[in-house]
Chains A and B, each alone.
Chain A
Amino acid sequence: MERHTDLKGDLFIMNKISNTKKYTDILNPPGGLMIWIFTMSEIFVFICAIATFLYQRGLEPELFLKSRLELNQVFATVNTLILITSSFFVVRAVDAYDSKNKKKTLTNLVISLVLGLSFIIIKFVEYNEKASANFTLGSNSFFDYYWVLTMFHAIHVIIGLGVLASLAFYTYKDIEFKEEDLNFHTGANYWHLCDLIWMIIFPVIYLL
């Protein structure tokens, strides 16, 4: 029984090493397979939404162009810069975590959290601006897409803030991740997913 426990422990350590160093196996992408199945399904959901947006724009090109010009590109660009910087600090946190530097991991995670919160605050300032100008859900089909897609993304970011906070808590308390498909890299990749979704919807809604 004791030998079995030791073997399990060795396997856990081996899995941990393979998670952090080797991703050449098709079933072992960075962060584990489950987060990648989730990432791909999310990306395809947004791509399908973009396809319906494209179809609707083909029906009402004038309305879509006029409505797009009502959006605030400065807010959106600042938010893009914030999200990219936040992702970069998550990358740094992952590196620090792999090299077992607790202080650096926590510092980078806190910076990412602050930047993520700034994204949400700016987003809500933007929403308030649009709502005040009576560009709400139901105003026209462009603003229906605008609200649904950006809100859906904002919900992902809010969940991501929770994920980053739990990673910071786990690191602070030195709690080990027990599962192969649920580790520090998994949480980090969820945050990058928020970035990827924004890279899909930002040009389509705000710029094209």
Chain B
Amino acid sequence: MKTNKINTFSFIILIFLTIGIFFLDRNLAPASESRSLIVLLSNLKFALIYFFFMGIFQAHIFWKLLGFFIILLQVVFGMALS
């Protein structure tokens, strides 16, 4: 029951983040450095799916650390792009 609530809450956040990123994209200049905010929000979406939808928050710490490592890599690449 608790997991159901976490997943529903994650889903609602994911929807809001997607819509938020869309409007950020519309309002920020195409080559603006503020686009790094899009990178951070996109990685938050990645984390919600990885940790909650895929159930990694219940798994061994190795899989959690691997998730954080992937997010770190994406943030580094994303920041370089923005």
A residues with CB within 8 A of B: 23-26, 28-31, 36, 40, 43, 47, 50-51, 54, 57, 65, 68-69, 73-74, 77, 80-81, 84-85, 87-88, 90-92, 95, 185, 189, 192, 195-196, 199-200, 202-204, 206-208
Closest CB of chain B to A81's CB: distance in Å?
6
User: How extensive is the interface on chain B, given as a class?
Assistant: 35 or more
A29 touches B59 (CB 8 A): yes
Interface residues of B (CB under 8 A from A): 3-4, 7-8, 11, 14-15, 18-19, 21-22, 25-26, 30-31, 35, 38-39, 42, 45-46, 49-50, 53-56, 58-60, 62-63, 66, 70, 73-74, 77-78, 80-82
Chain B binding surface, main DSSP class: helix
Majority secondary structure, A binding face: helix
**What chain B residues lie within 8 Å of A69 (beta carbons)?**
30
- 22 pairs, CB–CB < 8 Å, chain A vs chain B: A23-B55, A24-B58, A24-B59, A24-B60, A30-B54, A30-B59, A54-B77, A73-B25, A77-B21, A77-B22, A84-B14, A84-B15, A95-B7, A192-B54, A196-B46, A196-B49, A196-B54, A199-B42, A207-B21, A207-B35, A207-B38, A208-B38
